[in-house]
A and B are shown apart, each in its own frame.
Chain A
């Protein structure tokens, strides 16, 4: 729910409560005031009637209300002396309304010429139902007007006030580490938003720096390793050429050379990954996947023959994509090479090219690979494997760079990698 609607929700709820409480309190005090006024009027009227009765003896004979507002009855002195002024709300028939209407009635007693009388004075009251109804509608209208005004004010004023915030939010959503060059910017005089922007930008700046440092570190570390590797390799190769080595010595040297080679491969793979992630490959050109696949197969045929693996290529379409040639061959060579290495003797690799996809399936282990992890760096299903553990990570990075999709699945006892070229130009 938007902040704007949230605030409207809470405001309308609290205003509803306030208006309701206010209406009740207002009603009670209003009613109280009205009764007070009527009671005063009745008390005054009572005095007037008593005064009049003192001068005019016919007054005391008026035993019914009829057209006037009082009625007098003679009562016994004992009753009269025990009587106190009593105000009650009662109902009385009103001619114009043709209904019983509420009236306020004062019952009192007075003495006139040594005779005692009971005097009832009445005054018509407001109808409580009507009062409540009127009050309810007024309160409701007040409430509606308040809520509508709040919504309008919120929309106009708050939306204007929150514009920098939404702008900042939008820019933050677009922000990508390593891709976005500019930090989010807003122009506002609101201190909170400026503080927020500054805090966010400080955090982003820090992240960007860390990210760059990390990238730079991998690149520098790999570069710095090249020279020592070169020295060690050259020296050992020269040492191997010395004629006075024994077989076991030579083998040990060769094993060290193998390890250096492995380090070198690892190093080069890391550099390649960094380069891909830094988007340092710009030279894209149309590459025919069919031709490239055939080249890769011919490149690996000796290896496949040695492993007694048959490679089959079926081409359902001629597919050309816009990509860096060396990256494209890295992807294909890696996939095909994996399919050969992780195969069994007498097994096969089938490569299928369609208009938008390339599928490479191979026979091999009877259990499927862990699809969730195989594309992670340094993930190895077999810890003793001699590979760098970066091959599939590199393929994944290249796919990400070009918007391709790479998928693994296992069916019919075949490990299949599918490369979808969708998203490419």
Chain B
């Protein structure tokens, strides 16, 4: 086992977990735990992201500086890397370049405080898969990670399957018990978002931003979302879907399997 000076015991434990996790089946029993490296210099944000990802049974490791990230990337393989652009000791984009040189196939999501189109374009050009601007909703990060991971393990079909639901992302169609359920554009987007965040709370804010975009104000507390949810619920109920949308304290929603 390779020990690098300066590593905390905590990271070593993560490493152990990361290295041997493939011996253990995931809680869903379907696939092994995905490994995610969080490259972020803010410890509190690192922790929050790691906490959220742990709920999804991802295995996470963290790197707070450019050098630590470089070392980890040199030694281990990850399924997904969350990369902050502004790092102590170097530029995240530079790290991206180094990764590209070594020909690694990691999925990379850039997390940046800069909402700059130039950085976004440069990042995507250098091989990043997505670009998320701080601050973001936990649900949004979750959805983005799952989306890039799914793209990687695509096997030719781009479908989310949960219970008796099949959501075809290419055709933008929902099949319940192999029966087509017509959805409008917004309903489809909402359902997609819920399926990517199954069993997780989605606040109205996060949902509004994801489906209606950044421009929608929090006028009237997003009560208009309720109507869309109501319609979607009706459709899911009438076709006896194996999932339902729960309201949580009036602050958001959660999709659960029945």
Contact = CB atoms under 8 A, between A and B. Distances in A.
Given A227-B42, A334-B215, A337-B217, A237 B114 contact: no
B207 to A, nearest CB: 12
Nearest to A229: B135
A261 B114 CA distance: 17
A253 B223 CA distance: 18
Contact of B203 (A230, A231, A232, A254): A254
Interface stretch (A202-210, A244-252, A284-292): A244-252
A264 B209 CA distance: 12
Contact of B249 (A251, A258, A271): A251
A406 interface: no
B138 interface: yes
A169 interface: no
B217 A234 contact: no
Interface string A35-63: 00000000000000000000000000000
Interface in A213-242: 223, 226-227, 229-235, 237-238, 240-241
B137 interface: yes
B138 A234 contact: yes
Contact of A261 (B44, B113, B205, B220): B205
Nearest to B202: A237
A341 interface: yes
Contacts of B215: 299, 329-330, 333-334, 337
Contacts of B219: 303, 337, 341, 386-387
A99 interface: no
A294 to B, nearest CB: 14
Contact of B115 (A230, A268, A330): A268
B217 A237 contact: no
Interface stretch (B10-18, B22-30, B48-56): B48-56
A329 B134 CA distance: 22
Contacts of A31: none
Q: Main SS of chain A's interface residues?
A: helix
Interface string B80-121: 000000000000000000000000000000000111110000
Interface of B: 42, 44-45, 48-49, 51-52, 55, 113-117, 133-139, 186, 200-201, 203, 205-206, 212-221, 223-224, 227-228, 248-252
A176 interface: no
B135 A264 contact: yes
A268 B136 CA distance: 12
24 contacts: A226-B113, A231-B42, A233-B136, A233-B137, A234-B136, A235-B44, A237-B201, A238-B48, A240-B201, A240-B251, A240-B252, A247-B249, A251-B251, A253-B251, A254-B252, A257-B205, A261-B205, A264-B135, A299-B215, A302-B212, A303-B212, A303-B219, A306-B227, A386-B219
Contact of A238 (B51, B249, B251): B51
A303 to B, nearest CB: 5
Closest 8 pairs (CB-CB, A-B)? A306-B224, A230-B135, A254-B251, A250-B249, A234-B48, A226-B113, A229-B135, A230-B134
Interface of A: 223, 226-227, 229-235, 237-238, 240-241, 245, 247, 250-251, 253-254, 257-258, 260-262, 264-265, 268, 271, 280-281, 283, 299-300, 302-303, 305-307, 326, 329-330, 333-334, 337, 341, 386-387
Contacts of B49: 234
A231 B84 CA distance: 14
B48 A262 contact: no
Contact of B227 (A232, A237, A305): A305
Contact of B45 (A227, A265, A280): A227
A261 B220 CA distance: 14
B213 A299 contact: yes
B216 A337 contact: yes
Contact of B117 (A227, A283, A387): A283
Q: Which of B134, B186, B217, B221 has the most CB of A within 10 A?
A: B217
B246 to A, nearest CB: 12
Contact of A299 (B115, B139, B212, B227): B212
Given A238-B51, A250-B251, A302-B227, 10 more contacts: A226-B134, A227-B113, A234-B49, A240-B201, A240-B249, A254-B251, A257-B203, A300-B216, A302-B186, A341-B219
A231 B217 contact: no
A341 B216 CA distance: 11
Given A254-B251, A265-B217, A231 B48 contact: yes
B60 to A, nearest CB: 14
A233 B135 contact: yes
A40 B63 CA distance: 122
Contacts of B138: 233-234, 237-238
B221 A302 contact: no
A372 B249 CA distance: 43
Contacts of B212: 299, 302-303
Contacts of A241: 55, 200-201
B249 to A, nearest CB: 4
Nearest to B51: A238
Nearest to A258: B218
B218 A262 contact: yes
Nearest to A259: B218
Contact of A303 (B116, B133, B137, B216): B216
B238 to A, nearest CB: 21
A237 B203 contact: yes
Contacts of A260: 135
A231 B45 CA distance: 5
A330 to B, nearest CB: 7
